[in-house]
Structure formats: structure tokens, C-alpha cells
Amino acid sequence: MLFPWNNNTDSRNHAKSRLKLIIAHDRASINPDMMEAMREEILDVVARYVEVDREEMQFSLSNDQRMTSLTANLPIRQIKRIGDLQEQLKENKSINLQKIEVVEFDQEAETNAKSK
Amino acid sequence: MSRIIVVTSGKGGVGKTTTTSNLGAALAKQNRSVALIDADFGLRNLDLLLGLEERVVYTAIDVLAGECRLAQALVKDKRLKGLVLLPAAQNRNKESVNPEQMKKIATALAKGYDYILIDCPAGIELGFRNAISAANEALIVTTPEVAAVRDADRVIGLLEAEGVNKISLIVNRVKPLMVEENKMMSVEDVLELLGVPLIGVVPDDEKVIVATNKGEPLVLGEYESVPAQAYSNIARRLEGEKVPFLDLMANQGNLLSRLRRMFGG
Ligand SMILES: Nc1ncnc2c1ncn2[C@@H]1O[C@H](COP(=O)(O)OP(=O)(O)OP(=O)(O)O)[C@@H](O)[C@H]1O
Ligand SMILES: [Mg+2]
């Protein structure tokens, strides 16, 4: 290596990214257990309507200036059929199924669903 | 109207007392009248940093107990006209004072001085609540380190909850060379994380320790050192002047570091 001093670990950015996370948590005063519980509940609700990729999802607190926000990034595998929805929501009277648009599936999504 | 400002940090040892003494001296040098209150009961240090320890007779506790008048307890700095110290008791603990009492003292002092600076103890317990009780402004001191920044954020939240909304940040002990090598967070990094306005940047400098050893605030030094200038600038910004921040890197000029910079190190 030509300039060995270039080879230092970037502890500055390490510190910064760790702090971003911990400060957001401190500000929201949400502990990891609460975060986890909240995550599961939100996922359950979303999963009634769409099939989400649990592996790929991201769920995080962040802050901009003195504002803290919760960001959920949930990649959707496929939209559920209206029939499935009706089935699942039998008990839930508060949701009006007429208002939910029926989404056409693309071919790929259909095959994926069958192959399972 | 006089201003009551608490100097606080959450984390211990980041430079609250150093800031209070040097900023107080800088303000006095700029012809302001300043009363410094040591709110660190049981661990008082402000008198030492100012070199006034031998002249302490009464403390805030004696004032509260009615053993002396407030004016009698104030130690006048003979080198700087307009600068006085109200010492904390050393033989008592934090529980010997409550927020109401602290507020009474600070408000009484505010009648006679332009600035009341309160040196807050570390932590967020009673000592902290005592120190912030009278304050309408706060100076948050932090160093560019993870624990100090985290605690600073916590304290900012607590101050906001108490209605102290005029909050400014002092980043202390900055090492420009480390920042350049990406080994330390920069002032900008800290600002972005904490989201309160910056009022001062103080380099990590052995002159600060030398001044402490002598009990002589930096602005009283023979020539104006970089840290002395940093404190003078904070005093001027408090007064509402727009003063550019020091370029700390300009003072870091050994050959090796300059070479590194040239080669993008
Ligand atoms: N800019 C600086 N450069 C070098 N040393 C510094 C600087 N600021 C503070 N120090 C040193 O750091 C130590 C702690 O400073 P100080 O007592 O002011 O902190 P503090 O926040 O008041 O601590 P405590 O929480 O115990 O009250 C002292 O030894 C002081 O000399
Ligand atoms: Mg102190």
C-alpha cells in the first residue's frame, strides 16, 4: 500500500451511525422489546391485506433535526385476493370490502403462489 | 434584562466547569457584569478553576440558612471587574438544596448582574434539577464522543420538557487532526445529530489544563491563545454578534499532517 495511513478504520462514521440509532430510540423512549412487539403487530395488520417479505423488511426509527420518525419498509410479495380478504375479515366489521380495489395479478405472481 | 444561563451536559467531565469559568471571565472582560453560581454541591470546583478558592468564606448554603447576606457570600474576582462567584458548599450533598431555593438565589442575583451562569453538576437527578430551575437559557457542553453526545441529547430533551427552549451547543475538546483522519466526529456531525444551534467550538488544548493549574481563566493570558479566542467568541455570540467559527485546522500544521492532506490521506 502506497499510503499506509489511509488504512484506518472509519470510526467517525461508525460513531455517527450508532448514535443516530440510539438517539432516535432514546427520544422515542421505546425499548427494543417494545419495538419488536410493535413490529409484529404492524406486520400482522399489513399481512391481512398483502403478503410481505418478512426477511426483506426494514423497520427503523430515525431523526431529522429534532423530529423522530418511524419508517417501515415492507416489500410486498403479492396482493391478496378479495376472496381471501373476505375470509380473513369475517369478524372485522369495520372494514368495507366494497371499497377495496381488486388488483389484477401478473402472471408471475400467480405461478409463484401455485408453486407453494 | 439579565440572562440566567445554565451550563450543562449530562455526562461528567466534558468541560462544564471549564466552560463556566472561562466564559464568565470572557464576558467580564467584555465589560459585562457576571455572577457565576457553582451548583455542584459537594463537588465544587469552580472556585479552584477561577483561582478564588482561598477567598471563599460563605457559601450558598449559608445564604439559605440566613447566616449571611447574599452579597457577603459573593467572592469578587480582583483581576476582572464585574465578575463574582457564589460558591457551593463542599461539606454538604446535593440534597441540602432544592430547586425552589436555587431559583430564589439566582433570581435575586439577576437583579444586580447582566449574566448569571450556573455550573451544573453531572447527571440528571436533583443536582441537575436544582441547577436548571432558574434558567431561561442553556448551554450544552459536549465532546465529539458517543457517550457525551447521547447524554447531551437526553439533557436537551429534559430541558425542552421543562420549558427551557433557548438552547445552544458548545462542542469541546475537538481534535481537528483526528477529524480529518475520520477518527473523530466533526462538529457538523454532532450538530446534525443533536439539532440545536451551535454557539462555540473549543479545541482540545493543553493550554486549557495549564490555565486550570494556575487558576487563571484563559482570557487573562498574556497573548490570546486559540482556546482563549474560542471563549471570547462564545461571549460575543451570546451578546448577539455574528462571529465566524475558528478554523481549527489552520493551527494544525506539522509537516507530516500537511503531507497527508496533500496526498489525500
Ligand atoms: N478544551 C479542553 N482541552 C483540554 N482539556 C480540557 C478541555 N476542556 C476540559 N478539559 C479538561 O477536562 C477535565 C474535565 O473538565 P471540567 O472539570 O470542566 O468538566 P466538568 O464537565 O465540569 O466535570 P464534572 O462533570 O465532574 O463537573 C479537566 O481536567 C479539564 O482541564
Ligand atoms: Mg464540573
Q: From the CB of B20, is ligand 1 less than 6 Å away?
A: no
pLDDT exceeds cutoff 80 at A72: yes
pLDDT confidence band for A113 (50 / 70 / 90) = very low
Other CB atoms closer than 10 Å to residue B107's CB: what's the count?
14
pLDDT exceeds cutoff 50 at A103: no
Q: What is the domain range of residue B48?
A: 3-262
Identify whether residues A61 and A87 lie together within a single domain. Answer: no
Q: What's the rounded mean pLDDT across residues A46-71? A: 78
Q: How far is CA B183 from CA A44, A79, B178, B186, B210, in A?
A: 43, 47, 5, 9, 26
Answer yes or no: are the C-beta atoms of B218 and B208 closer than 8 Å: yes
Other CB atoms closer than 10 Å to residue A88's CB: what's the count?
13
Answer yes or no: are the C-beta atoms of B71 and B34 closer than 8 Å: no
**What is the model's pLDDT at position A41?**
87
Q: What is the domain range of residue A68?
A: 13-80
Q: Quickly list DSSP for A21-75.
A: HHHHHHHHT--HHHHHHHHHHHHHHHHHHEEE-TTT-EEEEEEETTEEEEEEE--
Greater confidence (A106 vs B167) lies with B167
| Angstrom distance (rounded) from CA B68 to CA B65 | 8
Answer yes or no: are the C-beta atoms of B221 and B182 closer than 8 Å: no
Asked whether residue A4 is domain-assigned, the answer is no
Asked whether residue A104 is domain-assigned, the answer is yes
Identify whether residues A27 and A67 lie together within a single domain. Answer: yes
CATH of residue B238's domain is 3.40.50.300
pLDDT exceeds cutoff 70 at A1: no
Identify whether residues A85 and A73 lie together within a single domain. Answer: no
Asked whether residue A34 is domain-assigned, the answer is yes
User: For chain B, which ranges sit under pLDDT 70?
Assistant: 251-265
Nearest in space to B187 (alpha carbons), one of B204, B205, B201: B201
pLDDT exceeds cutoff 70 at A97: no
Q: From the CB of B40, is ligand 1 less than 6 Å away?
A: yes
What are the backbone angles phi and psi of residue B30, rounded to the nearest 5°?
-90, 25
Q: What atom in ligand 1 is closest to the CA of residue B9? A: 21
Ligand 1 pocket test: pick from B16, B18, B46 the residue with the most ligand atoms within 8 Å of its Cβ.
B18
Q: Give pTM, 2 decimals.
A: 0.79
Identify whether residues A104 and A71 lie together within a single domain. Answer: no
Identify whether residues A75 and A92 lie together within a single domain. Answer: no
Identify whether residues A86 and A74 lie together within a single domain. Answer: no
H helices within B77-203, ranges in order? 99-110, 126-132, 146-161, 176-180, 187-194
Asked whether residue A37 is domain-assigned, the answer is yes
Query: For B220-262, what is each residue's pLDDT tens digit?
Result: 998 889 999 999 999 999 999 999 999 887 766 555 555 665 6
**What is the model's pLDDT at position A92?**
61
Asked whether residue A110 is domain-assigned, the answer is yes
**What is the model's pLDDT at position B252?**
63
Other CB atoms closer than 10 Å to residue B51's CB: what's the count?
20
Q: Nearest chain A Cα to B147, which residue? A: A19
Query: For B156-175, what is each residue's pLDDT tens digit?
Result: 999 998 999 999 999 999 99
Answer yes or no: are the C-beta atoms of B88 and B44 closer than 8 Å: yes
| Angstrom distance (rounded) from CA B185 to CA B171 | 11
Residue of A17, A18, A19, A25 to mutate when probing chain B, most B C-beta within 10 A: A19
**What is the model's pLDDT at position A93?**
54
Identify whether residues A68 and A33 lie together within a single domain. Answer: yes
Nearest in space to B3 (alpha carbons), one of B133, B125, B134: B134
CA atoms within 13 A on the CB side of B36: 36
Domain count, chain A: 2
Q: Is B140 helix (H, G, I), strand (E, B) or coil?
A: strand
- What is the ipTM for the molecules in this complex? 0.82
Q: In the predicted model, what is the mean pLDDT of chain B?
A: 93
Q: What is the DSSP letter of B75?
A: E
Dihedral over Cα of A78, A79, A82, A84: its sign: positive
| B174 contacts in chain A (CB < 8 Å) | none
CA B212 to ligand 2 centroid distance, Å: 12
**What is the model's pLDDT at position A116?**
35
| Angstrom distance (rounded) from CA A75 to CA A64 | 24
**What is the model's pLDDT at position A16?**
94
Greater confidence (B78 vs A34) lies with B78
**What is the model's pLDDT at position A13?**
93
| B161 contacts in chain A (CB < 8 Å) | none
- A26 and B189 within 8 Å at the Cβ level: the answer is no
**What is the model's pLDDT at position B127?**
95
Q: What does the radius of gyration of chain B's CA atoms come to, in whole angstroms?
A: 18
Domain count, chain B: 1
Answer yes or no: are the C-beta atoms of B187 and B173 closer than 8 Å: no
**What is the model's pLDDT at position B116?**
98
Which residues are paired to B76 by β-bridges? B84
Q: In the predicted model, what is the mean pLDDT of chain A?
A: 70
Q: From the CB of B44, is ligand 1 less than 6 Å away?
A: no
**What is the model's pLDDT at position B159?**
96
Q: What's the rounded mean pLDDT across residues A8-15? A: 84
**Which range, A82-86, A104-108, B165-169, B223-227, has the best average confidence (pLDDT)?**
B165-169
Identify whether residues A106 and A50 lie together within a single domain. Answer: no
Asked whether residue A93 is domain-assigned, the answer is yes
| Angstrom distance (rounded) from CA B62 to CA A37 | 53
pLDDT exceeds cutoff 80 at A8: no
Q: Which ligand is nearest to the CA of B171?
A: 1
pLDDT exceeds cutoff 50 at A110: no
pLDDT exceeds cutoff 70 at A112: no
pLDDT confidence band for A38 (50 / 70 / 90) = confident
pLDDT confidence band for A37 (50 / 70 / 90) = confident
Residue of B171, B185, B261 to mutate when probing chain A, most A C-beta within 10 A: B185
Identify whether residues A26 and A70 lie together within a single domain. Answer: yes
C-alpha cell at A113: 403462489
Identify whether residues A28 and A69 lie together within a single domain. Answer: yes
Identify whether residues A23 and A67 lie together within a single domain. Answer: yes
